[in-house]
Amino acid sequence: MKSIVIFVLLWTAVAGSRETHSLHYIYTALSRDLGLPGIHKFTAMGMLDNRMIDYFDSKTKQKVPKQTWMKAQLDPEYWVKGTQSRLSKQQWFEVNINILKDRMRQNDSDLHVLQWMVGCEGEMQEDGTMKFHRGMDRYNYDGTDFLSFDNFHSVWVALVKAAEETKRKWDNDTVLNNYTKSYVENECMQWLNKFWSYGMNQLKTASPPEVYLLSRDTNVESNIRLTCLATGFSFQDIIMWIKRDGRKLYREDGLQTLGVRPNEDNTFQRRDSVEILRKDKSKYTCEVIHEASSVYVMKEWENSGSGSGGSIIGAAVGGLLVLVLVAVVLVV
């Protein structure tokens, strides 16, 4: 009963909040080509509400739609211009990653990663349009936040000492600052409203998660591993709790999680697990809350004392090896 009350309170808080939507573009450049399948020297992707809508990489050299409604609603000229823009940005990244390497006196033999995330978030209004809520324009280098734009004050914020030289140069470029502020507050919002209206029916229909409880043997004969797997959901915001006798488990209790990972069909999965003694008679449950599809699931493991389900886990994760490598690179 206690867990149900907590869920109701949480759901009330979520339901009472403003509906928001986001449009972000993520650019990732590597200092050298790794020669690995699915890992490219330069990639760019558009994300509407954390769902990929377009994609470009340095191998295909073409901006392509990743949603059927993007292809149907936008004319061929949009994709031609988008490809030209991505090619230009690829050259910009190649130049600037070399500048940063020289500035930091880094070795060419090491791999370096420069990323840029830019976009906006809007609040849904009563008339069905969205009003600017906040913007984002930030850079990340080798897994560390490097530089970000404060659109309220129209200044760049150096997040590490190595970014101070770039901050001084860009702060003196009035044209750049005005354009950056205008883009996140106006142009980005125009595209957000347009894309949302194009894909509204599809975006509003969120696929719910399928939840599986698995158990398997471990390297220690006296232990078993309990795993909760939620997969097939289309919006990646999800809450998952593994509980022992109603108490949430954390990392200090041995809880392990890989977080939310992409599936190959544009849906997501999350997998949390904990290793316990085989003779443990406590009540273990998994609770999953997926706001977008209005789903709440609570399941309980049977204390069978036998390891099973390893093959199910393998089938769910097997197709993600390349995508996990990409996720390692996409540290933003």
Tens of pLDDT, residues 108-161: 889 999 999 999 999 988 887 899 999 999 999 999 999 999 999 999 999 999
All residues at 6 or more sequence positions from 213 whose CB lies less than 8 Å from its CB, including other chains: 226, 227, 228, 229, 286, 299, 300, 301, 309
**Could you write out the DSSP letters of every residue in 164-222?**
HHHHHHHHT-HHHHHHHHHIIIIIHHHHHHHHHHHHHHHHHSPPPPEEEEEEEE-SSTT
**What domains are there in the chain, each with its CATH number?**
18-204 (3.30.500.10), 210-329 (2.60.40.10)
Taking only the tens place, the pLDDT of each residue in 174-215 is: 999 999 999 999 999 999 999 998 887 666 666 789 999 999
Structure confidence at residue 195 (pLDDT): 94
d(CA 16, CA 8): 12
Structure confidence at residue 330 (pLDDT): 39
Structure confidence at residue 203 (pLDDT): 63
d(CA 255, CA 326): 24
Q: How confident is the model at residue 315 (pLDDT cuts 50, 70, 90)?
A: very low
* pTM, rounded to two decimals: 0.64
